[in-house]
Amino acid sequence: VVDVRKLYGDTEHFTFDPGFTSTGSCESKITYIDGDEGILLHRGYRIEDLAEHSDFMDVSYLLLHGELPSRSEKLAFEKAITYHTMVHEQLNYFFRGFRRDAHPMAIMVGVVGALSSFYHDSTDIGDPHQRMIASHRLIAKMPTIAAWAYKYSVGQPFMYPRNSLNYAENFLQMTFGVPAEEYKVSPTLARAMDRIFILHADHEQNASTSTVRIAGSSGANPFACIAAGIASLWGPAHGGANEAVLLMLQEIGHKDRIHEFIKRAKDKDDPFRLMGFGHRVYKNYDPRAKVMQKSCHEVLSELGVDDPLLELAMELEKIALEDDYFVSKKLFPNVDFYSGIILKAMGFPTTMFTVLFALARTVGWVAQWKEMIEDPNQRISRPRQLYTGYAERPYKPIDKR
Ligand code: ACO
């Protein structure tokens, strides 16, 4: 019998870090988070300033290129993005292969992965021109694909992009417009949508971004890598949390029941967690959640929506932030806590919430993927493991098992 530790040789050492809580996987110049202070910077700029003064195209350019664009750079960038907003007409048929009641995130994983079959040239990741075109295509086509995932689920015809509209307006037009009537995009909704995109654009090495980097580290086609990121984002512990928050608030239903749910969240024998609370890195208020909360009030009042869920969410936040359990574990609201309420007010069904997150995060994924490919020290990601299975043993014939 062989001691399995010897299989790899006693001289090999590696760190054992489940969940990678203390492992830095790369160098990056894109995003900085100070989790204790609740600070988020993209290329050195505060997220609050970007949300207030920039639009999503500015932020996309910043993440991709490292600087905010000048007027002419921005115009050229917008032109490059709008040039790619259409998807190949054959994708129409691909969509039709999905079940009518398919979750739109399932459609996103499939359709974005399928783009790799349309852009096989993008697999030439050593060519900077191909890398840039793939980046532009991904950013440009995500709103079209996301809107079509929605249209498919409600049985309405697909709407084509209109390049006279800006990024957020175009997405709203493709989502809520119908061919039978002229759709007038509300400036309030478009600005709110754009801000939501900014707040979700990048967040350094989270699960989905790390997934994109790991998939891309083998030299895979970028469209397939982004599909892997979408799959990772889908889970309720990550991007799926905004959908889960709304479902949780609906389940709580009334202020009188908040204490019951807080009690459940603290009970170690109950798998229930307060959705939209807690973060791997932030041990303070998530700065994006603050902007989102403010935006939530503005959007609801401008739309004239009086949603009791907002009041419920604020009460829940207040009670949780006064509770010893949440205080001692430094559990604060994260970006997803308020986003669902805004999205609901804007008319999106809950199943679309994570899709919108994926749409916005695409620029972060692409910027991180590009940075990785362009890193001269880039190597394939290949973590080690602590083997806890059998040592070598003799083969057992079937009649002895
Ligand atoms: N409700 C109740 N308890 C919680 C919560 C919560 N939302 N989040 C963490 N805790 C507790 C854990 O039970 C754990 O307690 P213990 O120390 O007694 O074991 C402690 O706080 C630390 O939590 P971990 O799960 O170890 O922290 P981790 O960094 O692995 O997880 C995560 C972070 C996944 C975000 C977690 O806080 C969570 O599940 N939150 C709810 C889901 C959510 O909102 N996700 C969105 C994240 S933001 C984003 O992806 C955009």
Give the DSSP per-residue string, 209-223: HHHHHHHHTTT--HH
List C-alpha distances in Å: 318 to 178, 332, 333. Answer: 41, 10, 10
Is residue 279 annotated as a catalytic residue, yes or no? yes
Q: Which atom of ligand 1 is nearest to the CA of 19?
A: 30
Residue 277 CA to ligand 1 centre (angstroms): 7
Is residue 324 annotated as a catalytic residue, yes or no? no
Q: In this structure, which residue's CA is closest to atom 34 in ligand 1?
A: 237
DSSP, residue by residue, 117-146: HH-GGGG-TT-HHHHHHHHHHHHHHHHHHH
Q: Are 141 and 87 in contact (CB under 8 A)?
A: yes
The mean pLDDT value for 112-137 works out to 94
Residue 274 CA to ligand 1 centre (angstroms): 8
pLDDT beyond 80 at 357: yes
CA 321 to chain CA centroid, Å, is 26
Q: Are 354 and 234 in contact (CB under 8 A)?
A: yes
Residue 208 CA to ligand 1 centre (angstroms): 17
DSSP, residue by residue, 64-125: HHSSPPPHHHHHHHHHHHHHT-S--TTHHHHHHTS-TT--HHHHHHHHHHHHHHH-GGGG-T
Q: In this structure, which residue's CA is closest to atom 44 in ligand 1?
A: 276
Give CA–CA dist 394/401, Å, rounded. Answer: 12
C-alpha dihedral sign at 156, 245, 186, 194:
negative
List phi, psi (to 5°) of 95.
Answer: -55, -40
Q: Lowest-confidence range among 8-17, 30-39, 86-95, 229-238?
A: 8-17
Q: Which atom of ligand 1 is nearest to the CA of 206?
A: 50
Pocket test for ligand 1, best of 277, 288, 334, 343 (most atoms within 8 A of CB): 277
pLDDT at res. 8: 52
Beta strands 31-34 and 39-42: pairing type? antiparallel
pLDDT beyond 60 at 10: no
Residue 278 CA to ligand 1 centre (angstroms): 5
Residue 319 CA to ligand 1 centre (angstroms): 17
Q: In this structure, which residue's CA is closest to atom 8 in ligand 1?
A: 278
ipTM of the complex: 0.95
Average pLDDT, the chain: 93
Q: What is the pLDDT of residues 268-320, one digit of tens each?
A: 999 999 999 999 999 999 999 999 988 888 888 888 888 899 899 999 999 99
Helix (H), strand (E) at residue 28: none
Q: How confident is the model at residue 11 (pLDDT cuts 50, 70, 90)?
A: low
Pocket test for ligand 1, best of 204, 264, 329 (most atoms within 8 A of CB): 329
Q: Which amino acid is at 198?
A: I
Residue 279 CA to ligand 1 centre (angstroms): 6
Task: Name the 3-class secondary structure at 32.
Answer: strand
List C-alpha distances in Å: 27 to 24, 30, 252. Answer: 8, 9, 42
55, 203, 279, 323: the active-site residue: 279
Q: How open is the CA angle 348-350-354, to the nearest 5 degrees?
A: 95
Pocket test for ligand 1, best of 23, 258, 267, 273 (most atoms within 8 A of CB): 273
Q: What is the pLDDT of residues 68-119, one digit of tens each?
A: 999 999 999 999 999 999 999 999 999 999 999 899 999 999 999 999 999 9
C-alpha dihedral sign at 165, 167, 170, 172:
negative
Q: In this structure, which residue's CA is closest to atom 22 in ligand 1?
A: 329
Ligand 1 binding pocket (C-beta < 6 A) is 19, 237-239, 241, 265, 273-280, 329, 331, 334-336
pLDDT beyond 80 at 216: yes
pLDDT at res. 14: 83
Residue 259 CA to ligand 1 centre (angstroms): 19
Task: Name the 3-class secondary structure at 40.
Answer: strand
Give CA–CA dist 50/58, Å, rounded. Answer: 9
The mean pLDDT value for 62-66 works out to 98
Contacts of 8-11 with CB under 8 Å at 24 or more apart are none
pTM of the predicted protein model = 0.92
Pocket test for ligand 1, best of 266, 331, 336, 338 (most atoms within 8 A of CB): 331
pLDDT at res. 240: 86
Q: In this structure, which residue's CA is closest to atom 11 in ligand 1?
A: 329
pLDDT at res. 7: 54
Q: In this structure, which residue's CA is closest to atom 10 in ligand 1?
A: 278
pLDDT beyond 70 at 5: no
Of the candidates 310, 327, 307, 329, the residue with the CA atom closest to the CA atom of residue 319: 327
Give CA–CA dist 158/151, Å, rounded. Answer: 6
